[in-house]
Structure 1
């Protein structure tokens, strides 16, 4: 296992399977990361108390406190979490993302893909990481906009109030809490469940289109990007007020 080095990004690998844990730690260590490893939630807590991590690779199915519960606890700290699981149903991925994971991979996986995803998460600006961890009461700012999610207040860069429907509010909140992340239609359907649309993919496309038009009427700067074949991504950096 690679020890922590101040000049290297530090990855904490949490998995109860020693063979998987060590394989991930060795592979990431060979590619320029300082790596710490923990076999369960308690060991993870001890490792983080001793030294912070820049990213956590977290298994879902562990004895004692499972990965979902641990992710929910750790997600508020703003540290990116890449969740690993043998569960590959859409609902499993949605639950993982909803409790705070930044990304989700199913086992078995290609180590080179894991490396690429780790690097992609670490490239995100610190401001996006802070916004990622926000709860339902967040007041956020992005590209001159001010968005108080709990109070349901949205102001454009000129300071004018913009009224959103319930569905538009839920959709914008889903995007603003996850800046820079590609969100699939399935994930968006779950995050904005039951709002302004029936539960099918085309409904999300229509809802995103309506939200885009309303935002563009106030400020033409693009906020939501279509990622062909994958979903949508919120473009601006987000900060918590």
Structure 2
């Protein structure tokens, strides 16, 4: 089986709830360190599992969102930027959950790029404004969530999008 690197994060970066055994195998995939970087490599998801992309430059937020998605029985793949996500084959994802403000392409830019492919997007932001929310909804964003948020709000949104 071919394993490919999905993304790398500067160390120390530890995903909350991500238990690595002695072989460094985790629920998300395999990881190894290379210098001061943690490389997270993807394994194929379980047949029929929903594939959710988490796009956030804040490692703690990405980790928490990934754990939430994993706890729902879905397969989470973490990306540290919209640019990193867009450089991948992204048609395989059932949903993208992204921060709005990130270095490089923003969550709005990501939503615009995915609108053509009809990949549903949920945006999360710590800096909400009416103008940004209007722009997000005009790009087809399914939910616009303000940080801090109740995890039940995000779960309800994910379930609503997955039921469509």
TM-score (norm 2): 0.69
Q: Deviations over 1:186-233 (max 9, x none)?
A: xxxxxxxxxxxxxxxxxxxxxxxxxxxxxxxxxxxxxxxxxxxxxxxx
Could you list the runs of 5+ residues in structure 2 that have no partner in the other structure? Answer: 1-26, 29-42
Aligned residues: 123
**Equivalent residue for 1:29?**
70
Structure with the bigger percentage of strand? 2
Task: Measure how far apart 1:46 and its partner are.
Answer: 3.5
Find the aligned partners of 2:73 and 2:91 in 1 and give their Cα distance.
18
The 5-angstrom pairing of residues 10-159 of structure 1 reads 10-47=51-88, 49=89, 52-124=92-164
Q: Whose Rg is larger?
A: 1
Structure with the bigger percentage of helix? 1
Could you list the runs of 5+ residues in structure 1 that have no partner in the other structure? Answer: 125-241
Q: Which has the higher contact order (CA 8 A, sep 6+)?
A: 2
Find the aligned partners of 1:89 and 1:65 in 2 and give their Cα distance.
18
**SS in structure 2 of the partner of residue 35 of structure 1:** strand
Root-mean-square deviation (Å):
1.6
TM-score (norm 1): 0.48
Find the aligned partners of 2:90 and 2:112 in 1 and give their Cα distance.
20
**SS in structure 1 of the partner of residue 66 of structure 2:** helix
